[in-house]
């Protein structure tokens, strides 16, 4: 198993794989590679020199699974390098946007068996320094099941993610990108806008001095390295614009309610819709079994469900209580 | 000392005052009152029957300081009750909006010596059940210093807040309301809009299933009881509309950048402005001394500073490093 890119996510993954191997020596070995020599040195110091390859070719040589864990702007470079060394095996990635990765891999590395992935885990800090072997434990992990994905490959990667303790959500790349635009990329943009707005004249310094819990949480991810947030938002621009427009429409609704003669009553109903949804989150639901067909797996993912265990002919899954979408 | 209204904030305050009294029997006594008999029973069970008054008149009888801790819609009722019992002493409140409280008190209880206050503490849950004697420890606590406020009264209340471990920020009621519109009320509306939007068709269930840390924090306060959020937002409608419009303008800026040929580079600078501000938050700064004049105290609050200690002729204060407002 080769992990290419050893920042927060790739580094956390390599730490976890190394821990698994230490506790169960029969499990498959793993090796990491990062283009940055200082990162490689830090990883070697923490996990030993054999945990890091000196170059990409050495990392992927003989690997059954290659995990791309570089930010989106570096994906074309690493995919080209994989093409140059003739890699044709199973390939997954942990990038926060899936459709652009699908396009790059399909064009540049058509012989690799790519199954796009996205573990929903992160921190506002980045880099191997803050990597944590527990970061991915129990996290929701989207795995793309597109028309071009071989079901057998998808199940192989799903089995690997389940082994890491992830919750596997089957979705198409486009569905994934629409979902994360609203629950990750949009909150990142909003956090930045709230932060900049808080500091603006007038009353900026006083506002920042009084700001407490609601500001702290609403803006936490605004502390993320700007280049990382820009890469994920910019890489999903079309879906994000759709979500931005919906948000602005909802805020204009609230504005309208604030101008009525009884804004408190008017806002109560508008806020109660959100409260009821937030109260039921994170989703919980009943255990079920899902046949291992493309159709059934995607139906599960679209309903907000996830796999918890794979068997020979079916999967154990959780199907959340349906949330009634607001009208 | 009488605390009127024993929900999250009033209850936490009464618990703290009772603990102070238990550890230092010479300190002034405190008593609470709540219009809800079940809440009074719960407080009596926790703190003993003498901690709760059977009615408002008994609570304020002989009090040196009355703390109004009811939600904004109940303020006119309690102020009228205070007028009916002829209360003329020092009065503060912990309501999240100050200008409407000022208007009510000025009109209905002109003889009381009101100093509006707002401790910046809260939880998404409400009621005495979740009250916590530590809730207010170390919190920023705005105290209104308006033209109608006697400086001696303001200093008395400031001394009391400092004794509770609060950080006192002097501001006018209007400045306070503008500041909290952007750092508290606006984040509450945005949290609701993000939550409702996440559940909307299409991909609502899948989005909620994948949602992780950035969604969790961005929407935490959307779980607050709708009537409470509506009361604070509706009670500060004019200031909140101004902030909503600024936010929408900033989001439209981001939308514009997403449509450029290189959205990643374009967004990086926009995000970096926010990152730099958020990185410096919460504010920290150098200790300084402030003369006890209206002018100097307000200048401190407007610069984002706060009092930490009161002396006979000056206060020890913290003056944060200036944050350069974005252009």
Angle at Cα B117 formed by Cα B114 and Cα B123, nearest 5°? 145
Between 3.40.50.720, 3.30.70.260, 3.40.50.150, 3.30.360.10, what CATH number should domain A2-171 receive?
3.40.50.720
Q: Decide if B182 and A205 are in contact by the 8 Å CB cutoff.
A: no
Find chain A residues with C-beta within 8 A of B210's C-beta: 120, 140, 142, 169, 176, 179-180, 183
Taking residues B42-59, what's their average pLDDT? Answer: 97
Taking residues B29-57, what's their average pLDDT? Answer: 97
Find chain A residues with C-beta within 8 A of B267's C-beta: 226, 229-230, 233-234
In CATH, the number for domain A177-259 is 1.10.3660.10
State which residues of chain A have pLDDT below 50.
Answer: 325-327
Express each pLDDT in A262-296 by its tens digit.
999 999 999 999 999 999 999 999 999 999 999 99
B114: closest CA among B61, B73, B78? B78
In CATH, the number for domain B177-247 is 1.10.3660.10
> B120: which 2 tokens?
């910046």
A300: closest CA among A277, A325, A322? A322
Q: Which residues pair with A310 in a beta bridge?
A: A315
Taking residues B123-152, what's their average pLDDT? Answer: 94
Of A183, A211, A258, the CB nearest to B215: A183
Q: What ipTM goes with this model?
A: 0.94
Domain spans in chain B, listed from the N-terminal domain onward: 2-171, 177-247, 285-320
Indicate the length of chain A as a whole number: 327
pLDDT at B25: 82
Q: Decide if A120 and B208 are in contact by the 8 Å CB cutoff.
A: no
Task: Tell me the count of A-B CB pairs closer than 8 A.
Answer: 392
Return the residue of A nearest to B272 by Cα.
Answer: A226
**CB-count exposure of residue A86 (10 Å: 0-12, 13-18, 19+):** exposed
% pLDDT > 90, chain B: 92
Quick check: helix, strand or coil at residue B119?
Answer: strand
Residue A297 parent element (H or E): helix A294-302
Return the residue of B nearest to A250 by Cα.
Answer: B193
Q: Decide if B211 and A274 are in contact by the 8 Å CB cutoff.
A: no
A10: closest CA among A102, A77, A74? A74
**Mean pLDDT of all residues in chain B?**
95
Of B209, B245, B326, the CB nearest to A306: B209
- Cβ(B151)–Cβ(B176) under 8 Å? no
């Amino acid at each position: 198993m080769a992990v290419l890119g050893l920042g927060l996510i790739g580094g956390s993954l390599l730490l976890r794989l190394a821990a698994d191997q230490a506790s169960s020596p029969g499990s498959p070995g793993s090796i990491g590679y990062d283009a940055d020599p200082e990162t490689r040195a830090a990883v070697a110091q923490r996990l030993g020199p054999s945990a890091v390859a000196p170059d990409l070719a050495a990392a992927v040589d003989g690997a059954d699974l290659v995990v791309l864990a570089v930010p989106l702007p570096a994906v074309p470079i690493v995919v080209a390098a994989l093409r140059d060394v003739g890699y044709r095996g199973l390939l997954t990635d942990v990038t926060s946007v899936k459709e652009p990765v699908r396009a790059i891999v399909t064009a540049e590395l058509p012989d690799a068996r790519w199954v796009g992935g996205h573990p929903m885990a992160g921190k506002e800090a980045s880099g191997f320094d803050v990597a944590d072997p527990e970061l991915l434990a129990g996290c929701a992990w989207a795995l793309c099941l597109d028309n071009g994905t071989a079901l057998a490959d998808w199940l192989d990667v799903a089995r690997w993610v389940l082994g890491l303790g992830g919750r596997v959500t089957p979705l198409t790349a486009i569905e994934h990108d629409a979902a994360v635009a609203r629950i990750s990329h949009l909150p990142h943009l909003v956090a930045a806008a709230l932060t900049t707005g808080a500091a603006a004249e007038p009353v900026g310094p006083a506002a920042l001095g009084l700001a407490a819990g609601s500001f702290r949480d609403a803006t936490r991810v605004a502390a993320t390295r700007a280049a990382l947030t820009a890469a994920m938002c910019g890489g999903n621009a079309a879906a994000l614009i759709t979500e931005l427009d919906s948000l602005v429409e909802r805020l204009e609704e609230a504005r309208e309610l604030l101008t009525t003669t009884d804004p408190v009553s008017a806002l109560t109903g508008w806020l109660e819709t959100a409260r009821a949804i937030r109260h039921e989150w994170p989703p919980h639901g009943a255990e079920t079994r899902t046949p291992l067909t493309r159709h059934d797996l995607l139906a599960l993912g679209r309903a907000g469900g996830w796999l918890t265990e794979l068997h020979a002919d079916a999967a154990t899954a959780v199907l959340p209580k349906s949330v009634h979408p607001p009208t």
